[in-house]
Chains A and B, each alone.
Chain A
Amino acid sequence: MSGEIAIIGTGMTKFGKHPDLSLEALGFEAAGQAMRDAGVRPADIQAAYCASALAPQLLGEFTMGQKIFWELGINKIPVVNVENACTSGSTGFYLACLAIKAGAVDMALVLGVEKMYTRVKKILDAGATDLETKLGFIVPGTFAMRARSYISKYGLTPEDLALISVKNRRHGFLNPNAQFREQVTVEDVLSSPMIADPLTRLSCCPQGDGAAAVVLCRADLARSLNTRTVNVATSVLMSGSYDSPPHLDSWPTDMRAVEKAYGEAGIGPEDLHVIELHDAFTIAELIHYEGLGLCPAGGGGELLKGGHTSLGGRIPVNPSGGLLSRGHPVGATGVAQLVEIVTQLRGEAGPRQVPNARVGMAHCMGGDLQGDTRSVTINILTV
C-alpha cells in the first residue's frame, strides 16, 4: 500500500456532551470540514463509509451514512455503514483503503460518528448474549482484571497506572477538541470513585458525542490536489482468536497486527515519531506499549515513568489526550486518531506538536473477550 494512498482532508467536532446536536448534525459537521479541508466537491467522492458502533442500540437508527452523506450532496455511490466495536471508524478507513488499492475508486470519504449521551442509559458490556455479560462482566471489569494481573506480575502499583491518566490529561489540556481539558494528579485519579477495582472513574475514558472524518484518494491524484497530503504506509485490520490463554497481560492480536503493519510499511517501532493508541483504560496503554514493540514485556512502567511517552519524550503517545482525555464516542474514535496523526504529520498541532514528526501510527482495539481482543487496526502514516 506504501505510496499508493494519501489522506487529503480531515474534519472533527469537539468531543463531549452535545445535547443540541443530533447524530446527523455531528456527522455533517465533521464530514463537511474534511471535504472543505481537502478542497473536493461531493461529486469527487466515489465511495463513502460511515462508522457508528452504538447508533442502532442507543438511538434506534440505521443506515446513518446515507442520511448524513445525502445532506452533503453525496449520493448515487457505494455507501457502507460499519460496526466493529471501538475499531468501527478505523475499519471504515481500512475498507476505503482496500477500495482505492483495488482500483475500484479514486477517492473516498470515511466518517466516524457517535452520540452516547442519550436517554438510553447502558453500561458497556461484551454483548447481551455473551456468557461473560450474563455472568456480570462489564467492560471496565475486564480491563480491571488485566490491570490486576499486569501489576501483580510486574510489580507496579495503582499509582504507576494512574500516571497514564495524568499524562493523557496533560496532553488533552492542549487539545481544543478534547472532552476533558482539566489536568489531574495521581491523587485525583486514585481518589475518584471506584468502578472496578483497581480502576477508578478517572482511570476510565468517558463516553461522549462526536464525529471525525477523513478524505483519502490515490496518491498520484493527491499530489495535484493538495500540498498537505499525508501518505498511508499501511492499513491493517486483524481479528482475535479466542483460545482462553492462561494469561491476561497481553492482547495477542496486537502483536499479530503490528507485525504485519511493520512488515508492510518496511519500518520498525524505533522509526515511529508519534503514536495514538487505544487507552480506553489506563492499563490498556501500558499493555499496548508492549504489543506495539515499544518496550519488552514488563517494560511499560519504565517507559511511562521515564517520561518517554509524554510530549517531549522519545516517542510521544496520545498527544491528543487519547481516549482518556479526548473522549471516546466509540464509532468516531478510530477516525479521530487518524485525524490527530495527520495533524501531527502536517505540523499543525500547535502546542501539542511533536517536533519534526514524519512517521506516525494510529492503533485501535475493539472489544476484549476470552483473553484476546476482537479487533485491532494499525494505520501507519508518513510524510
Chain B
Amino acid sequence: MPELIQQGLWDDSPEGKVLIGSCCRECGAKAFPCRSVCSRCCSEQQTQTPMARRGKVLSYTRICIDVPAVDEAPYLVGYVLLDDGISVPARLKYFDVNPDVGSAVVFEVGVTGKTAAGEAITGYYFRPERGGEEACQER
C-alpha cells in the first residue's frame, strides 16, 4: 500500500473521490481539514461532509527550488476556492500552461510526493477542468 499524505482527507462518492470537510450543525461553518470544534461558534456538533469536487484557482505559484518531500521541481501549488465557498491548499498538476487566477479545476487523488526512502506518497491535487482529464488518465 502506498503511503497516504494524511488519513481522512478524502472519500469515495458517486462522482469519484472528494475531499471531506466538516460542517457545523449549529452555525453551518465549513472547514477543511475536518475540525472537532467549530472555530466560529465553538460548537462540538460537527458532521463530516463531502466538499465540492470543482473550484477555481484562488492563487498559485511555481516552486522552482528542490524540495526533498516533493522531488519534482518545478511544481505548482495553489489555493483552490471550492464551489462551496471554502479555500483549500493543494497541488496543481497537468497544466500545460500556467493557470490563471480563476481557472476552473477539478479534484483528483494521486501521487504528490516521496518519502525519505523514495516511496510514493498518495495525496491530492487539482487538474484543469478542460483538457486535463485525458492527460491525467494517460499517465
Contact in complex: B58, A135 (CB < 8 Å): no
Q: Is B28 an interface residue (CB 8 A)?
A: no
Contact in complex: A135, B89 (CB < 8 Å): yes
Q: Which residues of A contact B (CB under 8 A)?
A: 123, 131-138, 141, 144-146, 148-149, 152, 193-199, 241-248, 370-371
Q: Once the chains are docked, how many angstroms separate the CA of A199 from the CA of B63?
A: 10
Q: Which residues of B contact A (CB under 8 A)?
A: 5-6, 9, 29, 31-33, 39-40, 58-65, 67, 69-70, 75, 77-79, 81, 85-91, 101, 112-113, 121, 123
Please give the distance in Å from B109's CB to the nearest CB on chain A: 13
Q: Which residue of A lies closest to B100 (CB)?
A: A152
Chain A residues, Cβ within 8 Å of B78: 145
Contact in complex: A145, B69 (CB < 8 Å): no
Chain A residues, Cβ within 8 Å of B121: 134
Contact in complex: B64, A195 (CB < 8 Å): yes
Please give the distance in Å from B48's CB to the nearest CB on chain A: 16
Please give the distance in Å from A38's CB to the nearest CB on chain B: 43
The 8 Å CB contact of B59, one of A135, A148, A245, A370, is A148
User: Given the known A-B contacts A195-B64, A196-B63, A244-B88, are A136 and B39 also in contact in the complex, defined by CB atoms under 8 Å?
Assistant: no
Please give 4 more A-B residue pairs, beta carbons under 8 A apart, in addition to A148-B60, A148-B61.
A123-B65, A136-B63, A196-B61, A198-B61
Chain B residues, Cβ within 8 Å of A195: 63-65
Q: Once the chains are docked, how many angstroms separate the CA of A290 from the CA of B88?
A: 25
Contact in complex: A134, B5 (CB < 8 Å): yes
- Of all A-B residue pairs in the complex, the 10 with the closest CB atoms, nearest first, are A144-B61, A145-B59, A136-B70, A149-B59, A197-B62, A196-B61, A194-B64, A132-B89, A244-B87, A148-B59
The 8 Å CB contact of B112, one of A136, A248, A371, is A136
Chain A residues, Cβ within 8 Å of B6: 131, 134
Chain B residues, Cβ within 8 Å of A196: 61-65
Contact in complex: A135, B5 (CB < 8 Å): yes
Contact in complex: A136, B113 (CB < 8 Å): yes
Interface centre among B59, B81, B88 (most CB of A within 10 A): B59
Q: Which residue of B lies closest to A123 (CB)?
A: B67
Contact in complex: A131, B61 (CB < 8 Å): no
Please give the distance in Å from A281's CB to the nearest CB on chain B: 11
